[in-house]
Chain A
């Protein structure tokens, strides 16, 4: 163990009770808009499972271990309709495949962590946690790890809670999805994405991804989300390279 490591560990163990709670609270508060935005889907997922004749245990296991939004919803319908196992699993895989992008984007930061941090963070790596992981210093150092687990964990607990409400009270509640509550998730992502547009390449990535996502969705392509994202990323990356090349050429011209 290097001197730096032992110094860091000493620093961590000195992390007082108060600061620890402060970090957890900050993680929880930062995730709060997203926790609230998914209330209608959580309740829908829970109540749909019961309507499709899931037992309470099965309905609880969906948010507990599958822990997915749209994949959970679609699979519940498929299971309820007695779809073949391969169809259910393949659909789950397609809907969930965007997470490969998140893993790839965070790979260099997360692969170096000890497994006691890596496995839980991998499990908690949803759209929502990824949305809060944009900072270049995210997952670096114990404080930011606690923050990540607290924010991701609060999302897990809330998702579970909304599902439980759906399981036990779904039949007494109106269908929340017809109230236009899907606007909540859209506007939350707007509030996260727009301030992150700090230069032209990111702006191009966002526009290309947005336009493609609408076209692919209208065409009902299965991998609409992933394809639109990758095209947007390609566009942004190429604009960035073009800018850098131009800068280089300008520099050379000056010489």
Chain B
């Protein structure tokens, strides 16, 4: 039974990824739609990372004792200044580890 569920799940995850890039699907994107969709990457990725930072254990965690919030603020600053992914990861990661140990 579990095997069957896994195969059905695979069908679902593949379909959600593949369906809309299939050429036979009768779907033509207008210029407006393309312009709208150009915002998808920043919008979706942000909707993934922001809750990790601001919601801890199901609660809104806006206090300075939330190490995620402080480290993420540093990450945003470094990413904006340097645009270097590794530099951003290392600097904010180091701050995060220090905060986790000391707080």
A interface list, Cβ under 8 A from B = 33, 54-55, 57-58, 61-62, 65-68, 71, 75, 79, 85, 88-89, 92-93, 96-108, 110-112, 118-119, 121-123, 125-127, 130-131, 133-134, 179-180, 182-197, 201-202, 205-206, 208-214, 217-218, 224-225, 228-230, 232-234, 236-237, 240
Contacts and interface: CB of A to CB of B under 8 A. Distances in A.
Query: Mostly helix, strand, loop or mixed at chain A's interface?
Result: helix
Interface string B66-81: 0110011001100110
Contacts of A224: 47, 51
Contacts of B86: 33
A103 B21 contact: yes
Contacts of A232: 39, 42-43, 46-47
Contacts of B64: none
B91 to A, nearest CB: 10
Interface in B1-41: 2-3, 5-10, 12-14, 16-23, 27, 29, 33-41
Interface of B: 2-3, 5-10, 12-14, 16-23, 27, 29, 33-55, 58, 60, 67-68, 71-72, 75-76, 79-80, 83-86, 88-89, 92-93, 96, 100
Given A122-B18, A186-B49, A213-B47, A206 B9 contact: no
A189 B49 contact: yes
Given A92-B13, A99-B17, A225-B44, A180 B100 contact: yes
Contacts of B52: 182-183, 185-186
Contacts of A233: 36-37, 39-40, 43
A190 B19 contact: no
A209 B79 contact: no
Contacts of B22: 111, 118, 122
Nearest to B67: A180
Contacts of B6: 58, 61-62, 65-66
A10 to B, nearest CB: 26
A36 B80 CA distance: 22
Contact of A96 (B16, B35, B89): B16
Which of B36, B54, B60, B100 has most chain A Cβ within 10 Å? B36
A195 B80 contact: yes
A130 B100 CA distance: 31
25 contacts: A61-B6, A75-B9, A103-B20, A107-B27, A111-B22, A118-B21, A122-B21, A125-B17, A125-B21, A180-B68, A185-B49, A189-B49, A190-B92, A193-B42, A193-B46, A197-B42, A205-B39, A205-B43, A213-B50, A214-B55, A224-B47, A225-B44, A225-B47, A233-B43, A236-B43
